[in-house]
Structure 1
Amino acid sequence: MPAASHPKYDQHYTDGKARRQSCPRASQADCHLAADRDVVALVESTSQGRVPALAPLRYARMRASPFAFFRGMAMIQAADLAAGPDSGLRLQICGDAHLMNFGFFASPERQLVFDINDFDETHPGPWEWDVKRLAVSLVLASRSRGFNAGEARATVLRLAETYRRRLHAFSQMSQLELWYCRVGFEELLSHAPDEATRQQLQKVADKARSQTQERLLPKMTENEDGGLRLRDNPPVIFHLDQAGGPLAACDDWLGDDSLAKVQGMLNRYIATLKEDRRELLQRFRLVDVAFKVVGVGSVGTRCLVLLLQDDYDQPLFLQLKEARPSVLEAFTQECVHGNQGKRVVFGQRLMQATSDLFLGWTHSADDRHFYMRQLRDMKGAPALETFASAGELASYGQACAWTLARAHAKSGGCAAEIAGYLGESDKFDQALADYAQAYADQVEADYRLFDAAIQSGRLPCAPATR
């Protein structure tokens, strides 16, 4: 029996519709700001606990544009969203669902899928927070590409309509059907609205397919004394014992005998995997470790690349990434997992249609929390510069909205309630477009304060970033 014909579905849908009384859809347009809002102080607070010497690089990457600043400071919008309207429907959300946190990657069956690919901030929260972050990122991306205000608004309207329509469809699936649902490359390609979008998707997919462990080997390693060693490329990749390196000012972490300490974290990580995957990992040996600076928002957190090899010297690259408390935690509820890395893994497994074969968590001797996964395993996403028209950007935004709706329907089990709240009209769509444009204005104002703090010398910044 289809879910939509079941009396329980009707009840859930009606319950969601009733939530409009306390939180009208039109109120989602309101652009609230947190009390006592100090942008520069918030930026400084997010650098606490990171590698101090990498702060200038982090700020340099954030300074590239308002869009880059937005990517690097999820905390600001989280605080502002917490001050605004709330539908009351809470579930596991991404927490940082901006445009560049979606892309292709390989399923364990080696099929290319499209999904959310960053869960550092995943946590229970209102579903609309993810939708709003995605919408604002689309407006900022549109502005950075030089598209006009009308085009930017149209991209958000298409995103909202797609999310609403797909969420309705997902709400009518059985739980098992929904659990097995995924957005594969071929399906995404078949829904591309024009040839330019199809060509762009094909190009990104081809690049993703080339990101294999074997292809990474000559790019990331070099021979030394008859064995392989990760190739240094400072300040992005460097060994922990590098003289005068960024970690010299951070000797509280790992310190001497770092390889043995990483081996301890590796052993604890392996224990979190399923039995068959534990057996597989135990057929590899740890060969080398290097620090790797990643992303925009993650710069300065402790992230490592691990090179492992099997008995035939074939490689496996793993990424160990520090997991700090989600930016949502202060505004929602405490983490219940006991380890922030486990929080990330739980959220990722719950929201993604399929997850990395080697996804797991661990902790260091000084009780820092981490998660681990494969490095660049058939991962790919379009660069912002590749969107030649507002139509191409809008189509990509629709693909993100499609997979976000699937993730929300899967993670919360309350898709019918969300569908009831959204309804059949475009009232939420129009409200979202109003909010996204207003908040994008606010992001640009925040960016100017951030840039002024760099110019004044309050925030250190690496040179030649713009």
Structure 2
Amino acid sequence: MAEIQSLETRQAIGRAAREHAKRSLHAEVGNVDRDPVELLRQNSAGRVEALVPLRYGRMSVSPFTFFRGSAILQAHDLADTANMGVAFPICGDAHLMNFGGFATPERQLVFDLNDFDEVATGPWEWDLKRLTASLAIAGQHMGVGRGPTGEFVATAVHEYCDRMREYAGYSTLDLWHEIVTFERMLETSDNDEGRRTLLKAKEKAAGRTNESMLAKMASQQDGHWVLQDSPPALFHPGGPNTLLGKDEAWSNTQAWENKLAAAFDAYLDTLAPERRALIGQFALQDVAFKVVGVGSVGTFCLVMLFIDSHGRPLFLQVKEARESVIARYFTADGPAHQGQRVVAGQRLLQAASDAFLGWTTGPAKRNFYVRQLRDMKVSAEVERMSNTVLQGYARICGWALARAHAKASGKAVEIAAYVGNGDRFAEALTEYAFACATQNEKDYETFIRACRSGKLEARSDEDMAADFRV
């Protein structure tokens, strides 16, 4: 059993960390002496070749979408920066679009981190810097002035620090059960516009269910439900609209079906017995390849459609898990199976995780994790937010990140003591966020030049969809 240290000792450890990692040092952007195009190419290796241009096409839309798809660059840059010395499984890609609302297994609508593809052990500061940089870049993207954008960043950092100090006083079990619900967010919102935005999001989430997706994504053919091809976003891996190359395309053979069945059985073994029993009441109808996100484009991602005896659907997403960019630049022990890495990190960081969350290995030895495709999930529409709403959103993201870090690390006391009560840490992070936004702009310009010169091929969703029109 580990020895329990006194609160005073833990606070002293946090304050002492300022000696080797001064809070002012967090203003440094890190090592930017690298070729962004080469790093992106490395990060695209092993993806579906035909979809890599779509990844670049989505990233090319703006500096903001470029930032969302280039987590590897920020991880590289942060590798040589100062950190407190407290490392634990962090989200790894905690930009403002990777937070959102979703339903817990108990049907409670909560706000939390919702993307864990890059989760790995690393310094907690890296998550906070990812969030603050995304706020600065989003502010620039929306044409917001430097003053209000700086307030967005400072708000997120102050909320993170305030909540961490609050959580430093929680008992271990109270912290483990802490959850940020939409009701709590409504109670703490300090303006009518923010409350209206939350109520609209809550209403939207209520309509984003498995049932609502069925008519949109599938049709019934001879009493059987079939997912409808809509390339490049959705297609059957072995069908005429497939974008998989000949080396990756599926054949509609019994051997492939047996391999997929074995992979699904291995996934079921990672679930609790009652969850396995629950899935056992559904019958598989169809499987299709789905292209998702910005940074994930080109990775293998499947949608499985199940139907129960009442004709009601269950959509599961089977998503490839690759090595985390955090693990590439911060050495630490972790699960060898990348799907297990994602699942373990998600369960640790989230207040409540998907009831069907598990992992498996595919026929080609690719690592996957499984979750519901959509279960009252709702994301922020940042481009439509006013300054007031975006500042409120920054505050909620800071709150959610602090809760996740406090739970996952068990180090709320040490982190709270390190950041302190003043403005020094927030000022450093604000300076960092603007410096990172400037670097992101430079990297984006280099990336766009590579696309225009033909060094990289970038294609939009519309361009690729046109290939399939008659």
Q: TM tier, shorter chain?
A: over 0.9
Residues 2-41 of structure 1 mapped to structure 2, 5 A cutoff: 8-35=6-33, 37-41=34-38
Matched, 1:62 2:64: no
How far is 1:463 from its partner? 4.7
* Cα distance in 1 between the residues matched to 2:364 and 2:394: 41
- With over 3 angstroms needed to count, the CA separation of the structure-2 counterparts of 1:334 and 1:52, relative to structure 1, is farther
Q: Among 333, 338, 341, which residue is 2:339 paired with?
A: 341
Q: Among 237, 241, 251, which residue is 2:247 paired with?
A: 251
* Cα distance in 1 between the residues matched to 2:134 and 2:127: 11
Aligned to 1:450: 447
Aligned to 1:140: 137
Q: Which residues of structure 1 form unaligned runs of 5+?
A: 1-5
Q: Among 124, 127, 130, which residue is 2:127 paired with?
A: 130
* Cα distance in 1 between the residues matched to 2:246 and 2:77: 33
Q: Among 176, 180, 185, which residue is 1:183 paired with?
A: 180
CA contact (8 A) 2:100 2:112 kept: yes
How far is 1:140 from its partner? 0.7
Residues 372-391 of structure 1 mapped to structure 2, 5 A cutoff: 372-388=370-386, 390-391=387-388
Q: Number of residues paired by the alignment? A: 458
Matched, 1:238 2:232: no
Q: Among 204, 209, 213, which residue is 1:216 paired with?
A: 213
CA contact (8 A) 2:232 2:461 kept: no
Aligned to 2:307: 309
Residues 281-292 of structure 1 mapped to structure 2, 5 A cutoff: 281-292=279-290
* Cα distance in 1 between the residues matched to 2:332 and 2:266: 24
- With over 3 angstroms needed to count, the CA separation of the structure-2 counterparts of 1:216 and 1:65, relative to structure 1, is same
Q: Secondary structure at the match of 2:92?
A: coil
Q: Secondary structure at the match of 1:223?
A: strand
Aligned to 2:317: 319
What is the percent sequence identity of the aligned residues? 46
Which piece of structure 1 moves more, 192-201 or 293-302? 192-201
Q: Secondary structure at the match of 2:322?
A: coil
> Which amino acid counterpart does residue 456 of structure 1 have in structure 2?
S
> Which amino acid counterpart does residue 263 of structure 1 have in structure 2?
A
Q: Secondary structure at the match of 1:242?
A: coil
Q: Which residues of structure 2 form unaligned runs of 5+?
A: 464-470
Q: Secondary structure at the match of 1:328?
A: helix
* Cα distance in 2 between the residues matched to 1:75 and 1:205: 33
Q: Among 185, 198, 203, which residue is 1:201 paired with?
A: 198
Matched, 1:227 2:224: yes
CA contact (8 A) 1:52 1:250 kept: no
How far is 1:329 from its partner? 0.8
Matched, 1:353 2:351: yes
* Cα distance in 1 between the residues matched to 2:22 and 2:332: 28
* Cα distance in 2 between the residues matched to 1:465 and 1:318: 26
How far is 1:336 from its partner? 2.5
CA contact (8 A) 1:51 1:250 kept: no
* Cα distance in 2 between the residues matched to 1:334 and 1:91: 9
Aligned to 2:466: none
CA contact (8 A) 2:154 2:427 kept: yes
Q: Secondary structure at the match of 1:114?
A: strand
CA contact (8 A) 2:210 2:375 kept: yes
Q: Secondary structure at the match of 2:378?
A: coil
> Which amino acid counterpart does residue 148 of structure 2 have in structure 1?
E
Residues 82-97 of structure 1 mapped to structure 2, 5 A cutoff: 82-97=79-94
Q: Secondary structure at the match of 1:362?
A: strand
Q: Among 68, 73, 77, which residue is 2:70 paired with?
A: 73
CA contact (8 A) 1:259 1:288 kept: no
Aligned to 2:146: 149
Aligned to 1:3: none
> Which amino acid counterpart does residue 169 of structure 1 have in structure 2?
E
> Which amino acid counterpart does residue 405 of structure 1 have in structure 2?
A
Q: CA RMSD in A?
A: 1.6
Q: What's the TM-score once normalised by structure 1's chain length?
A: 0.96
Aligned to 1:432: 429
How far is 1:255 from its partner? 3.7
CA contact (8 A) 1:155 1:391 kept: no
How far is 1:366 from its partner? 2.0
How far is 1:311 from its partner? 2.7
Aligned to 2:98: 101
* Alpha-carbon displacement from aligned partner over 1:405-438 (angstroms, at most 9, x marks no partner): 0000000111111011101111000000000001
Q: Secondary structure at the match of 1:84?
A: coil
Aligned to 2:259: 261
* Cα distance in 1 between the residues matched to 2:158 and 2:441: 26
How far is 1:253 from its partner? 5.7
CA contact (8 A) 1:60 1:465 kept: no
How far is 1:193 from its partner? 1.9
How far is 1:334 from its partner? 5.1
Aligned to 2:468: none
CA contact (8 A) 1:113 1:185 kept: yes
How far is 1:381 from its partner? 1.3
* Alpha-carbon displacement from aligned partner over 1:243-291 (angstroms, at most 9, x marks no partner): 25211x1533644434443322211111100011111112222110000
CA contact (8 A) 1:325 1:340 kept: yes
Aligned to 2:114: 117
Which piece of structure 1 moves more, 254-263 or 331-340? 254-263
* Cα distance in 2 between the residues matched to 1:276 and 1:323: 25
* Cα distance in 2 between the residues matched to 1:183 and 1:402: 8
How far is 1:461 from its partner? 1.1
> Which amino acid counterpart does residue 386 of structure 1 have in structure 2?
R
* Alpha-carbon displacement from aligned partner over 1:355-412 (angstroms, at most 9, x marks no partner): 0000000001221100000111000012122212x22111101101101000000001
